[in-house]
Amino acid sequence: MDSKIDVIKYQTHGTCSQLIAVAIKDNKIVDIEFVGGCNGNLKGISKLVTGLTIDEVIEKLQGITCGAKSTSCPDQLAKCLTEYKSQKLVNL
């Protein structure tokens, strides 16, 4: 039996990107799309974390800052996945 793909959307806070859309299947990242932000860097992050588990991504990215900001696009992705794990986000 094939498991379904959950697609979640997360509005970011304190970053240049405004939205992150993440596709998750069997606890692994299938695809990520950032809206706004540094295009090349975010495409690179997306490629690097695709195929990793939610926990692996959170462990690698949480707490990363961007310049003087207290967060970053990678940190916002970790926050998105943390909320997903705690079922605070609605699966779309």
How far apart are alpha carbons 41 and 31 in whole angstroms? 15
- Helices 39-49 and 54-61: crossing angle in degrees, nearest 10, is 130
pLDDT of residue 67: 93
| pLDDT tens across the length of the chain (92 residues) | 568 999 999 999 999 999 999 999 999 999 999 999 999 999 999 999 999 999 999 999 999 999 999 999 999 999 999 999 987 555 54
pLDDT of residue 1: 53
Does a structural domain hold residue 91?
Answer: no
Does a structural domain hold residue 92?
Answer: no
Does a structural domain hold residue 68?
Answer: yes
Domain that holds residue 72: 6-85
pLDDT of residue 5: 94
How far apart are alpha carbons 79 and 53 in whole angstroms? 14
Does a structural domain hold residue 90?
Answer: no
Q: In total, how many domains does the chain have?
A: 1
pLDDT of residue 92: 46
How far apart are alpha carbons 72 and 46 in whole angstroms? 14
Does a structural domain hold residue 78?
Answer: yes
Does a structural domain hold residue 70?
Answer: yes
CATH number at residue 29: 3.30.390
The answer to pTM > 0.95 is no
Does a structural domain hold residue 49?
Answer: yes
pLDDT of residue 87: 76
Span between the terminal Cα atoms of the chain, in Å: 21
Does a structural domain hold residue 77?
Answer: yes
